[in-house]
Structure 1
């Protein structure tokens, strides 16, 4: 591996020493058309490719994959690159900064404004699965829900905010993730209890010593616990 002194350096690397990594899903026309312009305008990629060092005279693209694809199509022998470290977090951040990977928000602790901005982004996407969702209503109900304890996104479908199981929930999950905290043993808030599964409710009821829980349905469990 190269010295860490090379991290952050701008280097003119032979393209045959660079692995394309995940590549780009940019349409072939755009790659070919841009490659033609690159050759006409001097053949110098003024926007560098971001690479990490993976061995002796060996690198891998982690950002600006489109630029690399254009340079390869244009037949460049060398490409201007910036050297990044090989940390996985660096790769993720680089892809996000390069617009090649969608950033996500931690729904467990997200502010109301963050939730609204993310929902608005999803609603306004072409052919969005969430185009029928009412932004203010969905934002308020999700913000007020006990999402800090959610282990998955299923509770959203019970909020009556327009996000149902299937494609709508999948679209929602494309910009959010969860870092749930452990559910406290004593909960009296009906709002929180309604977001929990029957199994979770029975576990809490058992800890409290409530009798007859094996035959109780969800509504009865919530009533007993609240």
Structure 2
């Protein structure tokens, strides 16, 4: 029997497939199991599921409740059925904090950058300790982000306390970028500085700059920015 999206139903635990691993500490599961038991065996927060067969469902969010119900000795749990649309799943996972929407750093506004950085800096697990919110926000917002590589390594050249490793990796939890193609001729020194020596020499060759092959990076940037 097909269930209508929005239906609140009870399902046997064996009817629910947990697709994503339940990354919750066993202490949290035990605490939730105790809460369910104290509520007379009712999980007042439903498991969010989509139907994949006549009597088969996949947990989209709140999957840890299935583990807690099993720990509490239940055979059934209350579930909310949603449709199979990708947009629905993304929305549900965001609303249950199982998923965070990432921001395209190439097009993000200053306020979006500030709020995202503030979220990361004020987390309990904080690899960004020492990073000054306003300084990092202003330097990122002013940078030519539309040309940054997908690795976001260009961030480390801003000298705002964000270095490669743990600090850069945690930024990838909320930021991504889809870089635009570089223009044929660049004169912006800040953008040129973010390029590699190989890239700069290629551009210098194309622009017929004399002696480019022996130039250091600073000289290449100066020569290209003046053409």
For 1:202 and 1:90, the matched residues in 2 are separated by: 48
Q: How is 1:134-153 mapped onto 2 (pairs within 5 angstroms)?
A: 134-151=132-149, 152-153=151-152
**Further displaced range: 87-96 or 216-225:** 87-96
Displacement after TM superposition at 1:150 (Å)? 0.5
Q: What are the equivalent positions in structure 2 for 1:18-97 lying under 5 Å apart?
A: 18-97=16-95
Partners of 1:14 and 1:174 in 2: how far apart?
A: 35
- For normalisation by structure 2, the TM-score amounts to 0.87
Judging changes above 3 Å, is the alpha-carbon distance between structure 1 residues 47 and 127 closer, same or farther for their aligned structure 2 residues?
closer
Tell me the C-alpha RMSD between the 2 structures: 2.2
- Any residues of structure 2 matched to 1:75-224 within 5 Å, and which? 75-151=73-149, 152-224=151-223
Output the TM-score relative to the length of structure 1: 0.87
**Runs of 5+ consecutive residues of structure 2 not aligned to the other structure:** none
Q: Which runs of 5+ in 1 are unaligned?
A: none
Call closer, same or farther: CA 1:84–1:204 in 2, change over 3 Å.
farther
Once the two structures are superposed, residues 182-202 of structure 1 have per-residue CA deviations (whole angstroms, 9 ceiling, x without a partner) of 111122111111122223323
What secondary structure does 1:103 align onto? coil
Say whether the 8 Å CA contact 1:23–1:69 is kept in structure 2.
Answer: no
Q: Which moved more, 1:138-147 or 1:97-106?
A: 97-106
What is the total number of aligned residue pairs between the two structures? 224
1:164-196 residue CA offsets vs partner (Å, 9 max, x unmatched): 121211122222111211111122111111122
Shift of the alpha carbon at 1:63? 0.3
Q: Taking structure 1 as reference, are residues 201 and 66 closer, same or farther at Cα in structure 2, changes over 3 Å only?
A: same
In structure 2, relative to structure 1, the CA distance for the partners of 1:57 and 1:146 (3 Å cut) is same
Deviation at 1:89, TM superposition (A): 4.6
